[in-house]
Each structure stands twice: as C-alpha cells, then as structure tokens.
Amino acid sequence: MKKRFLGQNETEISCIGLGGMSFSDAYGKTDTRQTHSILSSALDLGINHIDTAYIYGMGNSEKRIGEYFTKNKGSKNKFIIATKGGIETGKNGQRRFNNSKSYLKKSLEESLKRLGVDQVELYYIHRREVERPIEEVTQTLSDFVKEGKINQIGFSEIAPSSLNKASKIFPIGAIQSEYSLSTRYPELGLLQKSEEIKATLVAFSPLGRSLLTDKPHNFKKAQTINLLKENPRFLEPNLSQNIKITDVFRSLASDMGISSAALAIAWLLNKGNNIVPIPGTRSTGHLKSLSRGAEINLKEDELKEIDNILPVGWAHGDRYSVNQWVGPEKYC
C-alpha cells in the first residue's frame, strides 16, 4: 500500500489507517477473535497504522490490540500506533474532559500497559477541557515526548484557531477530525491550517458512518447502534433522503467496477497528501474492499461527477446530535 508521512518526524505510515473504535462494541458486538482477524488482514493489505483510545470500550480496544501483539510475536513492531486520552469516566458512568497533567500521565501509562508497549508514535487529546489553556496542555504532551513515552502529539476535534495556538508551543504531528464526502467541515479552515503547519489530518468516519458504503444502515439497524440512534442523519425523514441521494453515488461506483467505500476513500485521499483516513470495520471483506481506494487515481472528470452527485452540504441532518456536540469545537 502507498505510504504517507505522519506529522513532521517523517514516520511512514500506510495511506489508510485502521480505526480502533470498531474493536469495542460501539457499532455492534465484537470479540477478540474478530479483532485479531482484522489486524492480521490489515497487515496483509499493507495497513500499518492503528488508531485507538481508552474510551473505546473503556480500554477494551487497546486491550484487544495488546493481546494480538502478545499472541503474534513481532507484530507490535509492524504497526504505528496512536491512542488518545483526556476523557475521564466517573463511577456513575458520566464523562468529563480532564486535560490535567496528572490525569493525562496516568491515562497514557494505563494505555501503554494495555497495549503492551513502552511507547506509542502518537498521543492525542481526545477532547479539550476548554477551561484549561491549550498552550498548557500542549506543554504537557511535549513533556511526554521528552520522557520517551510518545513520539508525536495530536488533538482531536479542535478548531483551526486552537490548532494555531498549540502549534506555536510544540510541533503538532496530527489533527483528527471527521472528514468525508458527507462531512466537509474541515475544508473551512482545518485542512488549510494542518497543511500550513505540516500536520497530518487523520480523517475518522471517512465512509459517512455507512452512508458512503454499498450497504448503508437502515433505520432499524441504526437504532441498535448507540452512536447512531440519536444522530440526526440517521433519523427519519433525513435517513431516507440521505440513502436516496447516495444511491446515485453507489451506482457510479458500480459502473466503475469498485465498491462505494473504495470510491469514497479514493476521493478523500485526493483531497491532500497529508490526509490519512482511518475507517473502522468488523469485516475482513469490507476492509479488503475499501482498501482498494488506495490504488485508485481519480481523473478530473470523475472528481467533477462525484461533486455533482454529492455537492458540499448535500447531507440531511447535522453530523452530531445536541449531546454529541458536547466536546468538539465548532468554528466558522
């Protein structure tokens, strides 16, 4: 698989990474065997970047990845690992954002233990604690680099203005944001700022949470998935309209002889050399299908046709519910 640089350290990673949220039960029941099968398939396809987080299954995603490393000797050296911290869960299950140095240090050390590694390539602040200056948090992360626990630092779901402040304190390796044909918000400043400071833009949900695949979730299925059951794009009448619109995209992909997922990935990779999509999946077949997007060089007329089918702002409904918007920074 083609490679891209992660951040400014010239660490080479596959142009497609693997989203570790699917290794928890976020999108449906999964297990260790299934996770390990996906990880082996990723290596076979040349995918060497894993993105995970403590909050994905309350450590289960990291734990399953760590178990894979233990079971498959030498495999940990084949993957470039990123994980995240900054979201604290209380005894009552309620979450709050905690970017204090003491909490982040504890969270990072626990993540390293679950993963069974001494260091990860990249450590993100999963959600900003807005009361705490981002300059202070960036300094904390830079200290972890100096201690040898991480190689690069990153932030998830922050505004370009926050990214600009952080970049003046320490080099930012990556910025993570939702980015796809159904969510083009980063084009309003985040993509430009990441290019300016030479940070990688790691795109989660690059397949529009199934809307850009051959089999988008119907309403009944979406209601069984915690992340989608309140998501405006998966509530009626929005969902039916969104599926109808993307049916034309699916037809285009079929005419091209590829899956809709592969076409969506190819489009995203075309948007910039610093972009790395991290789709999540529980199916080795789906992973193999979408990975074909790395091989596709879209022509100018094909890009125009895609934009005609799915112009900016085509999706019905916001990308998050009111509750889901607690944490991500809005801009523009």
Q: Which residues are catalytic?
A: 56
Treating both helix axes as pointing N-terminal to C-terminal, what angle do 60-71 and 32-45 enclose, rounded to 10 degrees? 60
- Give the long-range contacts of residues 269-274, CB within 8 A, separation 24 or more: 269/15, 269/16, 269/293, 269/294, 270/298, 270/303, 271/179, 271/191, 272/191, 272/195, 272/201, 273/4, 274/4, 274/5, 274/194, 274/195, 274/198, 274/199, 274/200, 274/201
DSSP assignment of 206-272 equals TTGGGTTSSS---HHHHTTSTTTTT-GGGSTTHHHHHHHHHHHHHHHHHHHTS-HHHHHHHHHHHT-
**What b/e sequence results for 18-51 when a residue is b if at least 16 CB atoms lie within 10 Å of its CB, and e otherwise?**
bbbbbbbbbbeebeeebbbbbbebbeebebbbbb
Q: Which of 197, 109, 121 is nearest to 158 (CA)?
A: 197
Local structure of residue 180 (DSSP, 8 states): B
Q: Tell me how far apart the alpha carbons of residues 190 and 158 are, in angstroms, rounded to a whole number.
A: 9
